[in-house]
């Protein structure tokens, strides 16, 4: 058995962390940043991870501890670590990786349910295997696939009343972006009825960009601006622009957005 050749976990961010990794599996930029309003001793509630195998396979992870309840940071770290532990035991095989991702999420859900006081987190896993992308998620950490010309080729649906309303056409995208109940979740890790939504695989084309992020991104930058920033050019430059625009919104410096101060977890990916 040949396990992963690369594992990077961002589970204890106390400031900005930025990483660029490249391999035969592609290139990925990861950033986890604690919200500026948090005290120095206050934990970041977002976490991220990247696991890659020798070849064309990798798994990207993003988690956002649910705010408003204790232990959000613990839940995010636990879930990312649980999935990574399962992935360490499997070789470069699509079905084995899928089983490991699901087992890791289920294991963390059981631990969180048994934890005194409870805790919850979103989870988003994106596995790229031989050019095909498949997502696994619970919550409102979302994924976007964008072509070089700005075409949206795939987008996850937030597991929230507002997310479902936008998808059904009941709410306009702009209204959903500004809705006061946008943060309410109907599904996440740490809930009795937690479910993992497994999407059908899609074929990535050359120059497609994949964006995985917690709601610290999606609540602070309009979708069309995210698309324009990431659709072309170096990934690291795109990440720097996203972080800068999020910071402006969180500080109230963007007149077009009612910013939401929050932690950030963002991963940008392109095929090799």
Q: Could you report the per-residue pLDDT of 180-233, keeping only the tens digit for each?
A: 455 667 899 999 999 999 999 999 999 999 999 999 999 999 999 999 999 999
Mean pLDDT of the chain: 88
Note the pLDDT of residue 30.
96
pLDDT in tens, 247-259: 999 988 877 777 8
Note the pLDDT of residue 165.
43
Note the pLDDT of residue 35.
86
Query: Is a pLDDT exceeding 70 seen at residue 169?
Result: no
DSSP β-ladder status, 46-52 and 26-33: unpaired
Note the pLDDT of residue 259.
80
Q: What's the per-residue H, E or C state across 246-263?
A: HHHHHCCCCCCCCCCCCC
**Burial (Cβ within 10 Å: 0-12, 13-18, ≥19) of residue 252:** exposed
Strands (E), the chain: 6-10, 17-23, 26-33, 46-52, 57-65, 121-129, 132-138, 142-146, 152-155, 197-198, 202-203, 209-213, 264-270
Query: Is a pLDDT exceeding 80 seen at residue 167?
Result: no
Note the pLDDT of residue 172.
53
Return left, alpha or beta for 178; rule: phi > 0 is left, psi -120 to 50 is alpha, else beta: alpha
Measured between alpha carbons, how far is 81 from 9 in angstroms, rounded to an integer?
8
**Which residues, in sequence order, are CB contacts of 253 under 8 Å at separation 6+?**
259
Predicted TM-score (pTM) of the model is 0.91
Note the pLDDT of residue 109.
97
Query: Is a pLDDT exceeding 80 seen at residue 164?
Result: no
pLDDT in tens, 5-62: 999 999 876 656 788 999 999 999 999 999 877 777 888 999 999 999 999 999 999 9
């Amino acid at each position: 058995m040949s396990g992963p050749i690369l594992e990077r976990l961002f589970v204890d961010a106390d400031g900005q962390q930025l990483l660029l990794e490249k391999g035969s599996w592609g290139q990925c930029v990861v950033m986890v940043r604690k919200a500026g309003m948090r005290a120095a001793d206050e934990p970041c509630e977002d976490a991220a991870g990247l696991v890659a195998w020798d070849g064309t396979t990798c798994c990207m992870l993003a988690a956002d501890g649910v705010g408003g309840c204790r232990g959000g940071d613990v839940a995010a770290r636990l879930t990312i670590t649980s999935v990574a532990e399962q992935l360490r035991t499997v070789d470069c095989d699509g079905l084995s990786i899928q089983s490991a991702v699901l087992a890791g999420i289920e294991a963390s859900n059981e631990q969180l349910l048994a934890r005194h006081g409870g805790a919850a987190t979103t989870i988003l896993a994106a596995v790229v295997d031989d050019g095909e992308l498949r997502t696994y998620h619970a919550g409102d950490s979302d994924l976007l696939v964008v072509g070089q010309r700005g075409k949206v080729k795939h987008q996850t649906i937030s597991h929230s009343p507002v997310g479902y309303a936008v998808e059904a056409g009941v709410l306009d995208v702009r209204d959903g972006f500004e809705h006061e109940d946008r943060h309410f979740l109907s599904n996440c890790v740490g809930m009795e009825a937690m479910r993992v939504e497994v999407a059908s695989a899609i074929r990535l084309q050359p120059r497609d960009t994949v964006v995985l992020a917690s709601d610290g991104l999606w609540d602070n930058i309009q979708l069309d601006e995210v698309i324009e920033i990431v659709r072309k050019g170096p990934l690291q430059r795109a990440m720097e622009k996203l972080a800068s625009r999020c910071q402006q919104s969180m500080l109230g410096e963007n007149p077009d957005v009612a910013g939401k101060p929050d932690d950030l977890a963002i991963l940008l990916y392109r095929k090799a």
